[in-house]
Amino acid sequence: MLEYAALGWPVVPGAYPLRHGPRACSCDRVGCPDPGAHPLSPAWHMQATTDPALLTRWWQAEPDANVILPTGRVFDVFDVPLAVGLSALTRIDAADAHPGPVAANGDRVLFYVATRGNPEDEDEWWSCHLDCDPATIDDTPGLRWHCRDSYVLAPPSVLPSGQPVAWLRPPDGRPLPDPLRVLEWLAD
């Protein structure tokens, strides 16, 4: 969490999968629809922070909490099926291009790109049918574009299967790539 804060990436604690008992998620919702893959608080938009003291306090209170990174602030995320993501990553590497940070999240690959942002003038905001928020995940099985009002699980989070979310290409401090350039690689 502190590594993300050092990059300027806001963080918020997430629920985590339970391995024992009748519930699959650490949250208090019976039949949680997204076990271990959502923020602990419904106020996550306002709580996300880069404050190391607050992050340390949160994870001391919830040491098993997954890591949630809000999108649309510092970065957006393209979320694609595993086979598509690995194929695109191979082509990006072969072209000696910079893919930016890339994470494996179960059967999905997450490409972190420069954000479209949250413009001062809402009339300048352009939406896209690829935009994804937590409520529409199941409606978007192919390419998803996590931008404002969405979030992603980040390493070292753990999925309900027990599999960790892991970096394929960790953040290295370089500027994030242009989303339209990465979209071209994903579309090929």
Is the CB of residue 150 less than 8 Å from the CB of residue 132? yes
Count structural domains, the chain.
Answer: 1
Domain limits for position 51: 1-187
Helix (H, G, I), strand (E, B) or coil at 28: coil
Give 61's contacts (C-beta < 8 A, 6+ positions apart): none
Distance, CA of 57 to CA of 51 (rounded, Å):
10
Indicate the pTM of the whole model: 0.88
Strands (E), the chain: 12-14, 66-70, 75-81, 102-105, 108-114, 131-132, 144-146, 151-154, 166-169
Condensed to tens digits (0 to 9), the pLDDT of residues 106-144 reads 999 999 999 976 555 554 444 454 555 555 555 556 888
Name residue 99's amino acid: P
Q: What are the beta bridge partners of residue 75?
A: 114
Condensed to tens digits (0 to 9), the pLDDT of residues 134-178 reads 555 555 568 888 888 899 999 999 998 889 999 999 999 999 999
Condensed to tens digits (0 to 9), the pLDDT of residues 58-99 reads 999 999 999 999 999 999 999 999 999 999 999 999 999 999
Report residue 150 as tokens.
């969405």
